[in-house]
């Protein structure tokens, strides 16, 4: 919506790789994360050659997305407690917590 002001650096999903692949093609993130290795392989096979996105998976992948170094703001949305461990990685030193709606925290510097 404001490409001159914002860039998507990371995207994550659980297993909805059809939606995620479309978002990757549209927003050109540096990394994308899915739930498991099987979904990561399937996602990689769906993407056009040369997208340049690094595909990660599992808890370490979600934490990497939430704490990605070139990011100024992390927006997290999840259902239930399953996404809370990924959210915990976005609390880097010196950052302020700016809450979004319930269950959708937003963190930035």
Tokens, residue 22: 């479309």
The pLDDT value recorded for residue 78 is 73
Strand partners for 54: 31
pLDDT tens profile 23-54: 999 999 999 999 999 999 999 999 998 999 99
- pLDDT band at residue 107 using 50, 70 and 90 as cut-offs: very low
pLDDT tens profile 60-93: 999 999 888 888 888 877 766 555 554 555 544 4
Contact call for residues 23 and 11 (beta carbons, < 8 A): yes
Tokens, residue 30: 């540096």
Return the CATH number of the domain spanning residue range 10-108: 3.40.50.720
Q: Which residue has the tokens 């994360």?
A: 33
State yes or no: pLDDT of 94 exceeds 80: no
The per-residue DSSP string of 34-103 comes to ESSHHHHHHHHHHSPTT--PEEEEHHHHHHHHHT-TT-SEEE---STTTTHHHHHTT--TTPEEE--STT
């Amino acid at each position: 919506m404001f490409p001159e002001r914002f860039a998507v650096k990371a995207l994550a999903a659980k297993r909805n790789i059809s939606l995620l692949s479309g978002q990757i093609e549209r927003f050109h993130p540096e990394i994308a994360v899915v739930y498991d290795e099987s979904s990561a392989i399937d996602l990689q096979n769906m993407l056009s050659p040369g997208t340049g996105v690094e595909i990660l998976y599992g808890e370490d992948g979600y934490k990497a997305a939430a704490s990605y170094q070139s990011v100024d703001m992390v927006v997290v949305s999840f259902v239930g407690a399953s996404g809370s461990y990924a959210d915990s990685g976005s609390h880097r030193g010196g950052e302020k917590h700016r809450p979004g709606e319930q269950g959708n925290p937003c963190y930035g510097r």
